[in-house]
Structure 1
Amino acid sequence: MSLFTRPDISYAVHIVSQFVSAPTTVHWDVVLHILSFATRVIVLFQTLFFPSTSALDLRAYCDSDWAGDVVSRKSTTGFCIFMGDSLISWKSKKQDVLSKSSTEAENRAMAVTTSEIVWLRWLLANMGVRISRSTSLHCDNRSDIQIARNLVFHEHTKHIEIDCHFARHHLQAETISLLFVPSTLQIADLFTKPHSRPRFHFLTDKLSMFLAAAL
């Protein structure tokens, strides 16, 4: 039931882990609820599927929940990266600084995801797997895509200049290619906020999580 093998509970674990130094009974109830979900019979045998015929190309999704933390009003970064159809990397993490707009929060998420892509491409190259094509990075914020493609700094973007330059550098170097994806199809949305049951199951299906008995 490790966080490292259960992307479906990453967001929930991310939330409760922020209170480990001073937990309350409310947090303990939430932990018990997570454990109950994770050990339920129908989920106990659910696992990530890594097909042997999976392609060696990377594709990534990044998202953020702007000011989602009701206490600090910080945003949450979420991303997931696939090799072919296999999920190999994901993250749900509260951003270190406050973002004054959804564009700013999304740009920080884009920079974090780009950094992970660069590291994965380097790791794969050291394992003898060289990826010649750029890695597609799917984002549901058109403003961030335009900022990365047409970097004109003004008073609304100068405070996130490093993140903007980082994403633009790897876009120009063809390490990444930025693609727009509708919010309804944004898989990384799973790692940024809670969801209704139908939406949750839709997103976990997109992570290629299956019942082991069905494989």
Structure 2
Amino acid sequence: MTTVRALLRLVAANNWEVHQMDVHNAFLHGDLRKEVYIKLPQGFTFSSPNKLPRLHKALYGLRQALRCWYEKLSTALAKAGFVQSYSDYSLFTYTRGSVEIRVLVYVDDLVVCGNDSEAIHKFKKYLGECFHMKDLGKLKYFLGIEIARNKEGFMLTQRKYALDIVSETGLLGSRPAATPMEQNHHLASGTSPFIPEPASYRRLVGRLIYLANTRPDLSYSVHILSQFMQKLRERHMDAALCVVLYLKGTAGQGILLSSRSNLQLSVYCDADWGMCPLSRRSLTAYVALLGGSPISWKTKKQKVVSQSSCEAEYRAMSIATREIMWLRQLLKDLGFQPNGPSRLICDIKSALYIATNPVFHERTKHIEIDCHRVRDSINSGVLTTAHIGTKEQLADLLTKALGKVQFSNLMSKLGVCNLHAPF
């Protein structure tokens, strides 16, 4: 999904055309390379009772079907002159002179974009000759994500999906909540009664996880709720329903991928020290902005216990640096060469001092070596660091439950807006 958002951000900035194609019965196009035998269904007979029929083509339900289809498609794209990206194997690029075409594949759905209408038309005709394809026209709906385009850029929402969640829980007539989770919730140390059947909770959290593809405001809530899949209490279910009530009032909310030409990569990272009352591990979060539009975000618990807030923040910077390195390579594969270093923005000065000053050995001698990639990236000119106040830290939205005022303030700065909200 990060690749999808990054691609659409570049398409908006370059004013490219973007189309969508669908493959009919995609898995039936694959050719099997291994011997696979099938058992005949009840009611069918074979001439030799001691023999089984062997498959020559892939079928739905086979473990090899997806791989065979992908091999068939990638071979056809390679013959057309496309080059596969090493950053994301589902991305294929074509560059010939001034013609630029990008293809993003998700099973049987293809997003095709480029700067030449005639070249795109020829390529779609070529795909139609290779496979049984359906041209869906301009990109409007992809993987459950509603995509609207105007002069300001792309608006990505999952309004129908969100309303389905609210309807399924029976809360369409309830009063909406202002924030997805209340402050100081203490859900990890709750003592409310256990719920014996957590199936509905697991389904709800699973749907919220997918909804977070266009909703960075749900990242923290989904992270917290996902920890109680095995031992579910009544309070955990109430917290999940509170998120649904928040969706009730913000169903049309999504992210705006701006069409501005500025494509500076900036990453905000933050850490909440010792957040988990059970393991005392810190919470790491980052959000990556490409030209002011969010394309990547994540909330995750750190693997080890940090001994100070400075150490927790430094580990968060290391995780964000890994994302920066991958995003820079992805943007390069997409045809955009980042000019100059990317910005890594943090709100704790001591962590910034450690990243730029190797003299702080006493504070960092127990930290794993891989965390010091931040320092190496700074020295190589890949990124620069900057300090920001805590109230302006966008990643703060992904590390803790905030009040209504601060929550709304950070949401507006992050580029999250409601397409269906009244003026």
Map of 2:419 onto structure 1: 212
Map of 1:98 onto structure 2: 305
**Equivalences for residues 48-67 of structure 1 within 5 A:** 48-67=255-274
Aligned residue for 1:92, secondary structure, equals strand
Q: 1:167 aligns with which of 374, 388, 408?
A: 374
The answer as to whether partners of 1:151 and 1:164 remain within 8 angstroms in 2 is: no
Map of 2:389 onto structure 1: 182
* Separation in 1, partners of 2:261, 2:226: 34
Looking at both structures, which has the greater relative contact order when contacts are Cα pairs under 8 Å and sequence separation is at least 6? Answer: 1
Q: Provide TM-score, normalisation by structure 1.
A: 0.94
**Equivalences for residues 7-22 of structure 1 within 5 A:** 7-22=216-231
The reply to whether residue 202 of structure 1 matches residue 401 of structure 2 is no
Map of 1:84 onto structure 2: 291
The answer as to whether partners of 1:142 and 1:180 remain within 8 angstroms in 2 is: yes
**Equivalences for residues 23-172 of structure 1 within 5 A:** 23-40=232-249, 43-172=250-379
Q: Provide TM-score, normalisation by structure 2.
A: 0.49
Aligned residue for 1:93, secondary structure, equals strand
* Separation in 1, partners of 2:375, 2:272: 22
- How well do the aligned residues superpose, as a CA RMSD in angstroms? 1.5
Deviating 4+ runs (over 4 angstroms)? none
The one-letter code sitting in structure 2 at the alignment partner of 1:52 is S
Aligned residue for 1:69, secondary structure, equals coil
Q: C-alpha offsets along residues 168-199 of structure 1, whole Å, 9 cap, x if unaligned?
A: 01011111100011111111111111111101
The one-letter code sitting in structure 2 at the alignment partner of 1:197 is K
The one-letter code sitting in structure 2 at the alignment partner of 1:95 is Q
User: Aligned pair count?
Assistant: 213
Q: Displacement of 1:164 after TM fit?
A: 4.3
The answer as to whether partners of 1:66 and 1:105 remain within 8 angstroms in 2 is: yes
Unaligned runs of at least 5 residues, structure 1: none
* Separation in 2, partners of 1:115, 1:99: 19
Higher mean alpha-carbon deviation, 175-184 vs 163-172, is at: 163-172
* Separation in 2, partners of 1:137, 1:196: 26
* Separation in 1, partners of 2:303, 2:368: 16
Q: C-alpha offsets along residues 117-151 of structure 1, whole Å, 9 cap, x if unaligned?
A: 10000011011111021001111111111111111
The answer as to whether partners of 1:59 and 1:137 remain within 8 angstroms in 2 is: yes
Map of 1:192 onto structure 2: 399
Q: C-alpha offsets along residues 63-94 of structure 1, whole Å, 9 cap, x if unaligned?
A: 00011112221110011110002100111111
Q: Displacement of 1:106 after TM fit?
A: 0.1
Of the two, which has the highest radius of gyration? 2
Q: Which has the higher helix share?
A: 1
Higher mean alpha-carbon deviation, 22-31 vs 48-57, is at: 48-57
The answer as to whether partners of 2:284 and 2:300 remain within 8 angstroms in 1 is: yes
Q: Displacement of 1:153 after TM fit?
A: 4.8
Provide closer, same or farther for how the CA distance between residues 163 and 183 of structure 1 changes in structure 2, counting only shifts above 3 A: farther
The answer as to whether partners of 2:283 and 2:399 remain within 8 angstroms in 1 is: yes
Aligned residue for 2:420, secondary structure, equals helix
